């Protein structure tokens, strides 16, 4: 895929070059965020203000599509949200390489040198990243002060800026911005970017059923929904190691994207089979199989036996017979 293909598998070993990029970004964001905070520190922040900040963030994403996945990972509290997001996948190989070659300055960023130092960063999207993350942090800080608006409240009239100053209780504004914000903040699943034809989907379904990968039999239509990010309910996995091996083999053969583990984690596509042991660990709550568990299985597969190994390897060979010439 890229020059750092082996590192894009999200195995926790983030390249130092990209740790440096994240630290550089953090430095600029911190100053920008503190500046924004200073501007609203002595005012009463309202719901309308928050929606204004959200709409500005949406505008940044609309004009810079590769940034779309960043807010999700930032809100999850990931320290290296830039690396774990889809930014480098969506931005492309050339931009990935440019970021990998960034030479960071040893100068600490402050309000005095912020503009000058930012101008020295000759990377596509970098300034937009700084603004987007700063706005998201501002929204995260203040949006918890306001309850989720009810349907009745949402229908009330949008107050004027003057009313915002005098009224203590404000109705939720009904506007195109509010609707667009709600649509953007709605959780959406990502695609594994499958490259399978009709015959290959049939072979994949047969293999999954043969190794009993999921608790219930899965239809071809459900496999398509899973891989395109449209699965309605998570699948109960009977053997996590087999799942990881199968998807890793599909990845290595180019049938799904390299960062499938990140997609599975974000989509919450897989849950643990409800064995007695799992009930003791997780209680009656549904337990989503997260990124760390999938990565652990990947490591185990390098030194432990895998159920369904031969069937999976046979599948990959058969899939190759139906590849387009």
Q: In tens digits, what is the pLDDT along the chain, a chain of 325 residues? A: 344 343 344 445 688 999 999 999 999 999 999 998 888 777 788 888 888 888 899 989 988 888 998 999 899 888 899 998 889 888 888 899 999 999 988 899 999 999 999 999 999 999 999 999 999 999 998 887 776 554 443 444 444 444 443 334 444 444 444 444 444 444 578 999 999 999 999 999 999 999 999 999 999 999 999 999 999 999 999 999 999 999 999 999 999 998 898 899 889 999 986 544 445 555 556 778 888 888 888 988 888 889 999 999 999 999 999 987 6
pTM metric for this prediction: 0.47
Give all strands (DSSP E) within the chain, no chain letters: 235-237, 270-272
Residue numbers of the domain that contains 306: 198-321
> 122 in the Ramachandran plot: left (φ > 0), alpha (ψ -120 to 50) or beta?
beta
Q: Are residues 164 and 258 in the same domain?
A: no
113-146 as b/e: b if 16+ CB within 10 A: ebeebbeebeeebbbbbbbbbbbbbbbeebbeee
Asked if the structure places residue 192 within a domain, the reply is no
Q: Are residues 224 and 79 in the same domain?
A: no
Asked if the structure places residue 191 within a domain, the reply is no
Q: Are residues 257 and 157 in the same domain?
A: no
Asked if the structure places residue 193 within a domain, the reply is no
Tally of domains in the chain? 2
């Amino acid at each position: 895929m890229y020059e750092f293909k082996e590192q894009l598998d999200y195995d926790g070993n983030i390249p130092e070059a990209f740790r440096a990029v994240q630290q550089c970004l953090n430095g600029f964001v911190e100053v920008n965020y503190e500046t924004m905070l200073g501007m609203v520190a002595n005012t009463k922040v309202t719901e309308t203000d928050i929606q204004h900040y959200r709409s500005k963030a949406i505008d940044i994403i609309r004009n810079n599509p590769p940034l779309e996945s960043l807010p999700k990972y930032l809100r999850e509290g990931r320290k290296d949200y830039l690396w774990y997001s889809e930014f480098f996948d969506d931005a492309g190989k050339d931009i990935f390489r440019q970021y990998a070659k960034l030479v960071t300055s040893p100068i600490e960023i402050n309000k005095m040198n912020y503009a000058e130092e930012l101008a020295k960063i000759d990377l596509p999207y970098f300034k937009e990243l700084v603004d987007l993350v700063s706005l998201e942090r501002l929204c995260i800080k203040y949006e918890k002060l306001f309850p989720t608006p009810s349907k009745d409240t949402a229908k009330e009239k949008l107050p004027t800026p003057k009313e915002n100053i005098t009224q203590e209780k404000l109705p939720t504004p009904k506007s195109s911005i509010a609707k667009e914000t709600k649509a953007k903040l709605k959780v959406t699943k990502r695609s594994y970017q499958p490259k399978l034809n009709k015959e290959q989907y049939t072979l994949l379904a047969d293999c999954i059923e043969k190794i009993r990968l999921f608790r219930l039999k899965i239809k071809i239509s459900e496999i398509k929904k899973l891989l395109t990010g449209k699965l309605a309910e998570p699948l109960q996995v009977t053997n996590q190691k087999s799942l990881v091996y199968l998807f890793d083999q599909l990845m290595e053969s180019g049938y799904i994207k390299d960062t499938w583990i990140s997609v599975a984690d974000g989509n919450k596509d897989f849950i643990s089979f409800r064995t007695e042991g799992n009930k003791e660990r997780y209680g009656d709550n549904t337990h989503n199989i997260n990124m760390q568990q999938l990565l652990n299985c990947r490591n185990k597969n390098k030194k432990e036996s895998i159920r369904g190994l031969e069937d999976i390897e046979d599948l990959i060979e058969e899939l190759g017979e139906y590849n387009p010439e």
